[in-house]
Amino acid sequence: MGTARQIVVSVSGLTKAYGATSVLKGVDFSVDRGEVHALLGGNGAGKSTMIRIITGSAAKDAGDIVFHSPSGELRTEAEGRRKIAVVHQELALLPHLTVAENIALPYFANGAALFNRKRAAGQAYDALAMIDREFAATSLQRLIGDLSLHEGQMVEIARALASGAELILLDEPTANLTAQETDRLFTVLRRLTRESGLSVVFVSHRMKEIRQIANVCTIIRDGRTVVDRAATASLTDADIIEKMGQTATAHVSERAAVPTRRALDGEPLIIKENGFRLELRPGTILGVAGAPAGPSTLIATLVGAARSRRWTVSHASWPDSFSSPRQAARLGSGFITGDRSHKGILHSLPIIDNVLASRRVVRGSKVTGVHEQTECLDLMQALKVKAASIWNLPNTLSGGTQQKLLLARWLGLPSRLLVLEEPTRGVDIGTKREIYHLIRQMAASGTVIVWWSTENAELLEVCDRVMAFDTEGRCAGVIENEDLSEDRLAELTGMAA
């Protein structure tokens, strides 16, 4: 960077406290025009809070935020914020409105104006087609409420792209995307940053993606900036993890270190789809890869959320099909949803009720006893959840920490099957390793694990076998042992790795 920097926004000495907890303790952060800037940090480091303050949806306690126009002039905060678009971690979508309206409505600023549906559809199409032309061509008039999580994520990103913003803040945008969609998103971002000088702030815990897309990174730790604007290439993965404050040993692969990787004795779990039969011995970790359509029907059957004509799941002690998730849970089929905000966290109940929800169902508890508090604290300690009190509401915790609450629900329960949808979504690298370890321990105690992830690298690391679905939602095959590789997975799922 020989020439003078063209700063879009710079933040210095930002502080913020929620009650007694101080989240930001003096953060510095700045973004240049035309760069993709990775914002890194562990769960609860303060990334989301800083983003909220920059966009004006939270108030700062102290510090400065300065916005500049492309020509370098100072801007007022209101003016600067108009040129920012955000993709939030928890999607901001309107379920009863159409895809087109969800993308275009925010850009009809004048309430008294005519709402031109054609123009809205045109805007929406142009934005969506940048990521997925086919989706754009077929889905403009679909209701958001009928879309899957990953389709919703695309709509959300398209909205940001359509805004004509000069700065886009993406808070874990790829968490719900398939590898192929992520690829297309990156291509679009690269083009826009190069051609129209768009700046992108990118929050992700996926090291590979960070290296693919971001040229600059800032690392935040415990509410302070520890690395300010370093070139991503100048830091090794180990450096980054260490700066984020994760334990240095955590990133060493533990594949070999886990005690029992042999399948255990006991009644197997059998998954059947016309002609296809898969036998899972206790202790198996089965990965599920591919576009969401296929895995979601399988998972719905496994956890009793819906009956399916395609899939049958049998086990010696189970009925032919579950009548409800409650029955499934009580017969030892556990489930951790990938849609944390809508189907996972009980937002109006305190942490303790969130943590113990599944245990109460499985045990059929009628009374909530005092011993539960110790149990909750033990679980939180096992998962290293930091919370001021177990009586706080979950929204006082960061997204990644909320994910841990969901995991805690099934942790240590002697279940026969545990189905996980994107269990490491939104959690930092250190926590990810902890989760891998905990899940392996559960498998070692005889639980069959079904692990759906859109991150192939993760499946390869954790799973004994991986079941791949193609883009049509059909099972394309099961790979195991030496066959397990990114290339083979990409081939079967029909998606670039």
Which residues of the chain form contacts with other proteins (CB under 8 A)? 57, 86, 88, 91-98, 101, 105-106, 108, 110-115, 117-118, 121-122, 125, 129, 137-138, 140-141, 143, 145-146
What is the phi/psi pair of residue 12, to 5°?
A: -140, 140
Kindly state the smallest distance separating residue 344's Cβ from other proteins, in Å. Answer: 16
Alpha-carbon gap, residue 248 to 239, rounded angstroms: 9
Kindly state the smallest distance separating residue 106's Cβ from other proteins, in Å. Answer: 4
CB atoms within 10 A of CB 430: 20
Among 448, 491, 447, 430, smallest CA distance to 241 is for: 430
Closer by beta carbon to other proteins, 187 or else 368: 187
Closer by beta carbon to other proteins, 118 or else 262: 118
Closer by beta carbon to other proteins, 103 or else 495: 103
Ramachandran quadrant class, 59 (left: phi over 0; alpha: psi -120 to 50; beta: rest)? beta
Among 362, 407, 340, smallest CA distance to 380 is for: 407
Alpha-carbon gap, residue 467 to 411, rounded angstroms: 24
Alpha-carbon gap, residue 489 to 475, rounded angstroms: 12
Closer by beta carbon to other proteins, 143 or else 250: 143
Closer by beta carbon to other proteins, 94 or else 252: 94
Kindly state the smallest distance separating residue 39's Cβ from other proteins, in Å. Answer: 19
The 3-state DSSP class for residue 68 equals strand
Kindly state the smallest distance separating residue 312's Cβ from other proteins, in Å. Answer: 25
Closer by beta carbon to other proteins, 110 or else 234: 110
Is residue 261 within 8 Å of residue 246, measured between CB atoms?
no
The position carrying tokens 């399948």 is 263
Closer by beta carbon to other proteins, 159 or else 409: 159
Cα angle for residues 495, 461, 251 (degrees, 5° grid)? 120
Closer by beta carbon to other proteins, 59 or else 370: 59
Among 320, 343, 344, smallest CA distance to 331 is for: 320
User: For the chain, how far is it from start to end, CA to CA, in angstroms?
Assistant: 32
Alpha-carbon gap, residue 484 to 98, rounded angstroms: 40
Kindly state the smallest distance separating residue 24's Cβ from other proteins, in Å. Answer: 20
Dihedral angle computed from the Cα positions of residues 88, 94, 98 and 102, in that order, rounded to the nearest 10 degrees? -40
Is residue 356 within 8 Å of residue 375, measured between CB atoms?
yes
Kindly state the smallest distance separating residue 92's Cβ from other proteins, in Å. Answer: 4
The DSSP letter of residue 33 is T
Closer by beta carbon to other proteins, 129 or else 497: 129
Closer by beta carbon to other proteins, 137 or else 496: 137
Kindly state the smallest distance separating residue 109's Cβ from other proteins, in Å. Answer: 8
- Which token pair is 101? 């309206």
The 3-state DSSP class for residue 366 equals coil
Kindly state the smallest distance separating residue 398's Cβ from other proteins, in Å. Answer: 18
Kindly state the smallest distance separating residue 105's Cβ from other proteins, in Å. Answer: 6
Kindly state the smallest distance separating residue 111's Cβ from other proteins, in Å. Answer: 3
- Which token pair is 258? 């886990």
